[in-house]
Structure 1
Amino acid sequence: MRLATFNIENLGSDDDDAAPIEERIAVLRPQLERLRADILCLQEINAKKKVAGVRRPVDLVRLIEGTAYADYTLDITAGLKGKGPADVHNLAILSRYPVLEREEIRQSLVTPPTWIRTTAEPCDTAPFPVGWDRPIQRLVVELPGGTPLTVFNLHLRAPLAAAVPGQKSGPFAWKSISGWAEGFFLAAMKRSGQALELRLAVERIFDADPDALIAVCGDFNAEDHDTALRIACAAEDDTGSGRLASRVLTPVERGLAADRRFTVLHHGRPQVLDHILASRALFGHLDEVRIHNEMLADELVAFGRIAQPPESLHAPMVAEFSL
């Protein structure tokens, strides 16, 4: 069983600086085919075009035409109104296996914390909820032999400061360090809230079946040592309890050599921001992990020097399990 995750980056964008979809397909389709995934988790799937009044991921459908994925079950998340996908940044899973259950989790297990912004202009007069827009996608698929596998797909908040009223002078420019610092704190709160909601969803599964096969895939916008990933994994040295060791989730890429272990290049620094986490029962079947990063461009260099880049600046990751 081959399980893959790929932040495909704004597939279906109609921005002026976006590459034409034909050019994106020419680059991305070979990447998808190389993965040979039985289950493929995708992030940043846009659905700006409407069919019969409902948004549809038409560019994703075009991308997988003529590939094995065209015959897979496609599950895509809904927007905040619940009427079809959102216009941007949807999550999608393509599965070769039958889908037994599906769920979208968005602030149903965690009540968003409230905050009064101290640097806002004008000042907040009452606390506001620090919520998050992106859901967590959960599927249960039936593996050969009838074994259920739970797959989570997610995209956590990026480490870019959240907007604070009256504190920004441009899309990426701030009027004060205090305003930026509070915005950065709010972004971290959103990312941690998403990670907590994921962990609580995982705990529900372990409560029902301590030996459950669970995989969590996606763009965490966090490295192995960062808060969001530590919340998701719940390692023994964090909980301090060997009794809880069976509930730990483990990043499968830890077994790769350091010089091959990166999914993003940021200003020359290799980072693993995309992960596949496996429960102990699933990890016991792990055979191989690969990150297809051979042609990965530096995201800062690409932003400044490449006009309409068709590729994603995230590398896909694939794990193979003997199931």
Structure 2
Amino acid sequence: MDVTEFRIATFNLENLDAADESALERRIAQLRPQLLRLHADVLCLQEVNAQHRPSTGQDVTAKQEGTPPPERTLAALDALVKGTPYGEYHRVHTFNPSASAAMDRHNLVILSRTAFAHSAQIHHHYIDPPLYRLSCADPPAPEDPQPVRWDRPFQHGVITTPTGARLHIINVHLRAPRAAFVPGCKDNAQTWNTLGGWSEGFFLAAVKRAGQALEVRLFLETLFDEDSQALILVTGDFNADAHEIPLRMIRGDDEDCANGALRSRILVPLENALAQSQRFSVIHGGRKQMVDHMLASQALMAWFSRIEIHNEDLNDEFATPAVVPDTPQSFHAPVVAEFVPPQKVF
């Protein structure tokens, strides 16, 4: 990292995959310039899919003998960053705990110019899955309530800043406000056959999203317990704007807490440094929304210099696919913030 400043970015790549080689080439042509423009020292990514490596004769034999298939790799991401500075960065990604390898869909990835002092993924480490019995399922759900698990973990990475201070980076992708599956309540992937089933699915989605947010906040509390002046940045796709409950849970606010002694634990949305007209990272049905955030601890605000949202060429995620069904773009704008270590006062 540069001794005077460093840049941290977040970008939802929206299902980056390598299933179709020509489609991946088009996506690389679109996404790589966006990544290069960020000039990021740390890059937090969401929705990075993983792929099985090409099969070999040994793999075929192993499959015949009942051995699990080869581990998935981030081949699409490798192709995207090949030949760029990010290709040489240190990398951590989320993984399937049972396989210790990347998940098939929606992995989180952090790329860092400098090595990680620590990295981990957190998934139900601080909250047990709540129990719930479905009311609308067909056939009826079992009598015993079943656990409701979050869709994915969040990442914690620790890097050493130019001053030698430790910076905690938390990369998140919260559940989208889209109804979760309820058995027997859909005719197909898009069509619900009852409004009751849809409503229950939407309720489950809200539980998952709020639960993820609560786990992030409980984890933050452990960091603040260790160091009240911790340098922390929570970033990623929150699938919520600044006034929605999940973001309020993670961020905290004076009016919500009503306790000035907790002020040092409240996070600041860095997009507040921009004019209201510039604060959007997604356009949905003509409505501009800010769902990709950077939340900084009070101590890190002393380092904060400026923020950019690269939304100049952003298209509508609802309208555009109907016109351009194979568009290679992401419908999320990259967000990047610049930090300058404060100078020592003697």
Fold-level match, TM-score > 0.5? yes
CA contact (8 A) 1:157 1:221 kept: yes
Q: Secondary structure at 2:156's aligned position in 1?
A: strand
Q: Does 1:120 align with 2:137?
A: yes
* 1:277 equivalent among 295, 298, 301: 295
* 2:183 equivalent among 161, 165, 176: 165
1:207 is matched with: 225
Q: Does 1:10 align with 2:27?
A: no
Give the residue type in structure 2 aligned to 1:14: A
1:128-181: per-residue Cα shift (whole Å, max 9, x none)?
111113111100001123110000001100100011111111212211111111
1:76-107: per-residue Cα shift (whole Å, max 9, x none)?
11124242100111000000122100111001
* 2:235 equivalent among 217, 227, 231: 217
RMSD of equivalent CA atoms = 1.4
1:185 is matched with: 203
Give the residue type in structure 2 aligned to 1:314: H
State how far apart, in whole Å, the 1-side matches of 2:151 and 2:46 are: 14
Q: Does 1:104 align with 2:104?
A: no
Give the residue type in structure 1 aligned to 2:199: A
Q: Secondary structure at 2:28's aligned position in 1?
A: helix
Q: Does 1:27 align with 2:45?
A: no
State how far apart, in whole Å, the 2-side matches of 1:163 and 1:279 are: 36
Give the residue type in structure 2 aligned to 1:5: T
1:253-304: per-residue Cα shift (whole Å, max 9, x none)?
0121121110000000000011011000111221111100011110011221
Q: Does 1:87 align with 2:92?
A: no
2:319 is matched with: 301
State how far apart, in whole Å, the 2-side matches of 1:165 and 1:19 are: 36
Q: 1:27 to 1:10 in 2, by over 3 A?
A: same
CA contact (8 A) 2:114 2:159 kept: yes
Q: Secondary structure at 2:299's aligned position in 1?
A: helix
Structure 2: segments with no counterpart, 5+ residues: 1-5, 56-69, 342-346
Q: Does 1:67 align with 2:70?
A: no
CA contact (8 A) 2:169 2:233 kept: yes
Give the residue type in structure 1 aligned to 2:24: I
CA contact (8 A) 1:43 1:91 kept: yes
Moved over 3 A (4+): none
CA contact (8 A) 2:151 2:208 kept: no
Query: How much does 1:120 deviate?
Result: 1.3
Q: Does 1:315 align with 2:301?
A: no
CA contact (8 A) 1:19 1:308 kept: no
Identity of aligned residues (%): 46
State how far apart, in whole Å, the 2-side matches of 1:143 and 1:235 are: 27
CA contact (8 A) 2:156 2:171 kept: yes
Q: Secondary structure at 1:300's aligned position in 2?
A: coil
State how far apart, in whole Å, the 2-side matches of 1:14 and 1:247 are: 43
State how far apart, in whole Å, the 2-side matches of 1:176 and 1:145 are: 58
State how far apart, in whole Å, the 2-side matches of 1:47 and 1:302 are: 26
Q: Secondary structure at 1:180's aligned position in 2?
A: helix
2:43 is matched with: 40
Structure 1: segments with no counterpart, 5+ residues: none
CA contact (8 A) 1:19 1:310 kept: no
TM-score by length of 1: 0.96
Query: How much does 1:306 deviate?
Result: 0.6
State how far apart, in whole Å, the 2-side matches of 1:318 and 1:24 are: 21
TM-score by length of 2: 0.90
State how far apart, in whole Å, the 2-side matches of 1:260 and 1:90 are: 28
Give the residue type in structure 2 aligned to 1:258: Q
Give the number of aligned pairs: 321
Give the residue type in structure 1 aligned to 2:196: S
Query: How much does 1:14 deviate?
Result: 2.2
Q: Secondary structure at 1:299's aligned position in 2?
A: coil
